Amino acid sequence: MKRRYVVLDVFTSRPLEGNPLAVVLDADDLDTQAMQRIAREFNLSETVFVRRAVHPAHSAEVRIFTPGRELPFAGHPTVGTAALLAEERFGDVAKAIDAVVVLEEKVGVVRAAVRLDPSRPTFAEFDAPRLPLAVRADLPSKGAIADALGLDAADIGFENHVPTIHEAGVPFAFVPLAGLEAIRRARLDVSSWKSACGQNEALPVYLYCRETIHHDSTFHARMFGVGFGIGEDPATGAAAAAFAGVITRFDQPTKGSHSHCIEQGFEMGRPSLIDLALEIDGKELVAVRIGGSAVRVAEGTIDVSRASV
């Protein structure tokens, strides 16, 4: 049976930039094996499968797969799918309107606000389904991290920022680097990284620095997708959600709302801009929002009649 799919570029307002996403519609009768095989066929960072919602008030149930595994939650699939479902529901709009899309993901229910505007790409923003947590697990030494990245130990860290592990549905190893020059030189040797982690899980590695390319960006980032079946990711919304915990820990923002723009994917020729908003009450992080634009770049059908065989 043939199923319709749409490919979008997410966290960008321009086609052929940002992070590409495949969304397969009407995927109710596809089993897990079939969805994983289709995700490998698309071979993008993630592929989303849209199914009927369990709760009738929600928009859809979605399953999210990398080429190598299923994820309970991911940012650019959430932004892209919310934007697409709003476009599918309302079609071409004559004036700007706001819509709400409620997605059932493995991590839980995710609510997204979508802005449809005939003069600009669709923008979607969602509330992170979980607040970020620091994961209490041992990271390799600074020297071992530097060796795995092809860097010097002096490149690791800036100000009071040191390597940590945080998660908001998916755990990442967050490694601060001195600046753009160091982050551009980084090349992750997966074997060295796994060896350095020893008995601990070799997590995906998120590099970040405060020096940026665009003057209105707050952080520059790269993400190496160890365990995801991908090398480097152009834009990683799930990591951005967890990164809110890193910012809260080291920068100690004051009470109120704080907006950040994370630039990622520039080293890959896929520039991406991720909006990250933190809400602080006292000294506690109480809410995280992730947002970005999405543009359609392709659509068609895929024959999945033998995907489970």
What are residue 117's DSSP bridge partners? 120
How much is the pLDDT for 227?
Answer: 81
Same domain for 168 and 250, yes or no, is yes
How much is the pLDDT for 48?
Answer: 98
Same domain for 58 and 139, yes or no, is no
Same domain for 256 and 174, yes or no, is yes
For residue 118, give the CATH number of its domain: 3.10.310.10
Of the ranges 8-12, 191-195, 226-230, 272-276, which one carries the lowest mean pLDDT score? Answer: 226-230
Same domain for 143 and 265, yes or no, is yes
Same domain for 286 and 298, yes or no, is no
Predicted TM-score (pTM) of this structure: 0.93
Same domain for 170 and 257, yes or no, is yes
Better pLDDT: 9 or 308: 9
How much is the pLDDT for 137?
Answer: 78
Q: What is the pLDDT of residues 112-143, one digit of tens each?
A: 999 999 999 999 999 998 999 999 878 999 99
Section 78-100 average pLDDT: 96
pLDDT band with cut points at 50, 70 and 90 for residue 239: very high
Q: What is the pLDDT of residues 13-32, one digit of tens each?
A: 999 999 999 999 999 999 99
How much is the pLDDT for 85?
Answer: 98
Same domain for 122 and 241, yes or no, is no
Section 90-110 average pLDDT: 95
Q: Is residue 309 part of a domain?
A: no
Q: How far is residue 271's CA from residue 216's CA, in Å, rounded to a whole number?
A: 14
Q: Is residue 308 part of a domain?
A: no
Q: What is the pLDDT of residues 66-80, one digit of tens each?
A: 999 999 999 999 999
How much is the pLDDT for 306?
Answer: 66
How much is the pLDDT for 275?
Answer: 98
Same domain for 45 and 106, yes or no, is yes
How much is the pLDDT for 230?
Answer: 82
pLDDT band with cut points at 50, 70 and 90 for residue 308: low
Concerning whether 46 is annotated as a catalytic residue, the answer is yes
The packing angle between helices 237-251 and 75-90, to 10°, is 130
Of the ranges 35-39, 221-225, 304-308, which one carries the lowest mean pLDDT score? Answer: 304-308
The mean pLDDT of the chain is 95
Q: What whole-number percentage of the chain has pLDDT above 90? A: 91
Catalytic residue among 46, 104, 125, 167: 46
Same domain for 27 and 46, yes or no, is yes
Same domain for 150 and 285, yes or no, is yes
How much is the pLDDT for 246?
Answer: 98
How much is the pLDDT for 304?
Answer: 81
Q: What is the pLDDT of residues 160-183, one digit of tens each?
A: 999 999 999 889 999 999 999 999
Section 189-217 average pLDDT: 95
How much is the pLDDT for 136?
Answer: 81
How much is the pLDDT for 199?
Answer: 86
pLDDT band with cut points at 50, 70 and 90 for residue 309: low
First-to-last alpha carbon distance for the chain, in angstroms, is 13
Same domain for 159 and 177, yes or no, is yes
DSSP assignment of the chain equals: -EEEEEEEEES-SSTTSSEEEEEE-S-TT--HHHHHHHHHHHTSSEEEEEE--SSTTSSEEEEEE-SS-EES--HHHHHHHHHHHHHHHH-S-SS-EEEEEEEEETTEEEEEEEEEETTEEEEEEEE-SS--EE---PPPPHHHHHHHHT--GGGB-BTTB--EEEESSSEEEEEEBS-HHHHHH----HHHHHHHHTTS----EEEEES--SSTT-SEEEEEE-TTTT-SEES--HHHHHHHHHHHHHHH-PPSEEEEEEEEE-GGGT--EEEEEEEEEETTEEEEEEEEEEEEEEEEEEEE-TTTT-
Same domain for 224 and 246, yes or no, is yes
Q: Is residue 268 part of a domain?
A: yes
Can you give the residue range of the structural domain that contains 174? 133-290
pLDDT band with cut points at 50, 70 and 90 for residue 229: confident
Q: Domain count for the chain, please give it.
A: 2
Section 35-54 average pLDDT: 96
